[in-house]
Amino acid sequence: MPGLVALAQSLPVQGDITAAVAGGQVDTGIATADAVHAARCPAEPNAKPANLTLLGDLYGETLHVLVRPGLDITTVEGLKGRRVAIGKAASADRRLADRLLTAHGLRRRDVRAQELAGDDALAALAEGKVDALFRIAAVPDPKVAELAAAQKVVLLPVTGEAAGRLSALHPFSGPGKIPAGTYGEAGAVETLDQPVVWIAGPDLPATLAGPMAQALSAKPNRDLLKAGDTIPLALEQPVPARPVAPLHPGAAAAYGRDPVAMPCQQVRAR
What's the Cα-to-Cα distance from 100 to each of 5, 28, 49, 70, 93, rounded to whole Å?
42, 30, 24, 22, 10
62-194 has CATH 3.30.70.20 classification = no
pLDDT tier, 3 (very low <50, low <70, confident <90, very high otherwise): low
* pLDDT of 4 over the 70 cut: no
H or E element at residue 195: strand 189-200
Alpha helices in 127-159 (DSSP H): 142-149
The residues, any chain, with a CB within 8 Å of residue 68's CB and separated by 6 or more, are 125, 128, 130, 131, 132, 152, 153, 154
Please indicate whether the domains covering 14-60+196-255 and 62-194 agree at the CATH topology level.
yes
3-class secondary-structure state, position 260:
coil
What is the structure's pLDDT at 78? 97
Which stretches within the chain are classed as H helix? 14-22, 33-40, 92-103, 118-126, 142-149, 160-169, 206-217, 219-227, 249-255
Q: How confident is the model at residue 269 (pLDDT cuts 50, 70, 90)?
A: low
Please write the tens of the pLDDT for every residue from 9-63.
777 666 689 999 999 999 999 999 999 999 998 888 788 999 999 999 998 999 9
CB 230 within 8 A of CB 7: no
2 vs 164, more confident: 164
Does the pTM surpass 0.85? The reply is: yes
| Short-list 259, 258, 253, 257, CA closest to 208 | 253
φ and ψ of 24, to 5 deg: 85, 5
Closest CA to 83 of 98, 94, 95, 67: 67
* 133-134-138 Cα angle (round to 5): 130
Name the residue ranges covered by the structural domains of the chain.
14-60+196-255, 62-194
At 196, the amino acid letter reads: V
User: Residue 126: exposed, middle, or buried by beta-carbon count in 10 A (0-12, 13-18, 19+)?
Assistant: middle
DSSP-based three-state secondary structure for 79 = helix
Rounded to whole angstroms, how far apart are CA atoms 39 and 223?
30
DSSP string, 27-77: SEEEEEHHHHHHHHS-SSTTPPPP--EEEEEEEEEEEEEEE-TTS---SGG
Pick the CATH number of 14-60+196-255 from 3.30.450.150, 3.40.50.620, 3.40.190.10, 3.40.50.1110: 3.40.190.10
Contact call for residues 193 and 176 (beta carbons, < 8 A): yes
- DSSP strand pairing (83-85 vs 132-137): parallel
Per-residue pLDDT reduced to its tens digit, 189-208: 999 999 999 999 989 999 99
